[in-house]
Structure 1
Amino acid sequence: MDELEIVYQDEYLAVINKPSGLLVHRSRIASGAREFAMQMLRNQMGRHVYPVHRLDRPTSGLLIFALNSDVARSLTEQMTARQVRKTYHAVVRGYVSDSGTIDYSLKEELDKLADADADTDKEKQSAITHYECLKQVELPYKVSKKHDTTRYSLVQMQPETGRKHQLRRHMAHIRHPIVGDTNHGDGRHNNFFRSHFDIHRLLLAATALSFHHPVSGEPMNLELPLPDEFHRPFIE
């Protein structure tokens, strides 16, 4: 893989555009993986880096790394206090209503390997996601047996909480699963995007971050353009 795209860097932190399919760091649940964002950035910058938060392997977008432990601690405190505003975009099945809030508690998803010792009786955790529909399209293709056409929406989302797979699970909960989601999505639509659009990834990206600089206190507002794949269904 080529070098990582560094969106912002100073002496205290670096923010990258993580590609879809890249793990943030080594994990027992993906023992065959050979490349990791943390190690790649460390090698690229020639110094130790500290991941402040995570993105799921198939999700692309903005990812913050601190460049010392004090900065990592300060940014983690902002994350815990919900002072970091995160914006995501996704392509989902169906026509989504103009805007809304999903307030649906989630039981923690456990992995058989990574979470083997975790409490399986843990109570559901509060989970809140705000969303807004930006675009809609109806395509003349029969993907499901019930309909002769198929509909999709481009959605912007801002999670208040950070539960595991929250956005993917919340959109599936309101029956608008994210395209490319192999765990919570619709296989027929995933296959359609692979065959018709040559899109083989999860169409979920972290596109904006707002937080206060951990040293100067200045407001930081970072944005990424939408990946090309997100536009493709809407310009056919």
Structure 2
Amino acid sequence: MSDSLRILHRDDHLVAVHKPAGLLVHRTALARGEHQFLLQRLRDQLGQRVYPVHRLDRPTSGVMVFALNSAVAAKLTDTFTQRRVTKRYLAVVRGVGPEGERLDTPLREEDGSRHKAEMPAMEAITDVSRLDSVELPVQVDRYPRSRYSLMEARPLTGRRHQIRRHLASRGYPIIGDAKHGKGNHNRFFAERLEAPRLLLAAVSLAFDHPMEESRLELDCALDTTMTALFNRFGWAGHLPVDSARSMELARS
């Protein structure tokens, strides 16, 4: 793992970086024995304190935003809590996913603190669409050929493992998802396609800048594992690139 994190954007108030897959954002009670955390690495790289304002699951890669002081952190946290952020993810799933669909099955929280039956079902909404697909002449499951899709997911709520659970519930589990996916397909990608990780990446965030009259749009390139897989499957045209755009907000 490289010591240097990829900086996507930095100004006087916030910083956006690419979070590598497999890296925890910060210490938790479940992180016993872990020594590497995104928060610590970014702090050391910048030489100043940073404040997390949202989360990404450990196996998920992609764009994350941190505030550079507590006042900005409070504003950004409110922006995420109030769902005033546009999020875009890319995922590789088993099967040929729907061309466009809103998944709105309510989800119970998965925090490990209580039995799931004791947790209330919460509103959860994810818009998904199939961008591409591929058919391989390999029998992984019971069929002689195996089909996979590149899905775009735009979550409108922020439940834990929301995209993973919604896609799995529709029969299109994300490759590399040990909890909600299928082991034979996960092993095939790990052993034959050099993709031993969850194939889910946060590739875009857009939100109103907390201290400026502008909307900040951030795009994040995929890591080497997913980039190589996209090239192998003929999906290179869907590869995002690192970019940061600031657009002035229209005055009313």
Bin of the TM-score, shorter chain as denominator length: over 0.9
The separation in 1 between residues aligned to 2:38 and 2:161, in whole angstroms, is 19
The separation in 1 between residues aligned to 2:152 and 2:195, in whole angstroms, is 20
4+ aligned runs moved over 6 Å, structure 1? none
Superposition pairs for residues 96-107 of structure 1, below 5 Å? 96-107=97-108
Aligned to 1:184: 180
What whole-Å deviation, never above 9, does each CA across 1:134-182 have from its counterpart, x for those lacking one? 11100000001x2000000001110000000000000100000000000
The separation in 2 between residues aligned to 1:48 and 1:119, in whole angstroms, is 36
Amino acid at match of 2:202: A
> TM-score of the superposition, structure 1-length normalised?
0.94
Q: Which runs of 5+ in 1 are unaligned?
A: none
Aligned to 2:26: 25
User: Are residues 1:157 and 2:153 paired?
Assistant: yes
Work out whether residues 131 and 149 of structure 2, in 8 Å CA contact, stay in contact via their aligned partners in 1.
Answer: yes
> TM-score of the superposition, structure 2-length normalised?
0.88
Aligned to 2:215: 219
3-state DSSP of counterpart to 2:75: helix
Q: CA 1:84–1:221 in structure 2 vs 1: closer, same or farther (change >3 Å)?
A: same
The separation in 2 between residues aligned to 1:224 and 1:203, in whole angstroms, is 15
Alpha-carbon distance, 1:16 to partner? 0.5
Aligned to 2:49: 48
3-state DSSP of counterpart to 1:73: helix
Alpha-carbon distance, 1:230 to partner? 4.4
Q: Which runs of 5+ in 2 are unaligned?
A: 236-252
Of residues 189, 192, 201, the one that matches 2:197 is 201
Identity %: 45
Amino acid at match of 1:234: F
Alpha-carbon distance, 1:119 to partner? 8.9
Amino acid at match of 2:162: Q
The root-mean-square deviation of aligned C-alpha atoms, in Å, is 1.6
Of residues 104, 120, 138, the one that matches 1:123 is 120
Aligned to 2:242: none
Aligned to 1:80: 81
3-state DSSP of counterpart to 1:137: strand
Q: Aligned residues, how many?
A: 231
Aligned to 1:235: 234
Superposition pairs for residues 1-20 of structure 1, below 5 Å? 1-20=2-21
Aligned to 1:92: 93
Work out whether residues 195 and 229 of structure 2, in 8 Å CA contact, stay in contact via their aligned partners in 1.
Answer: no
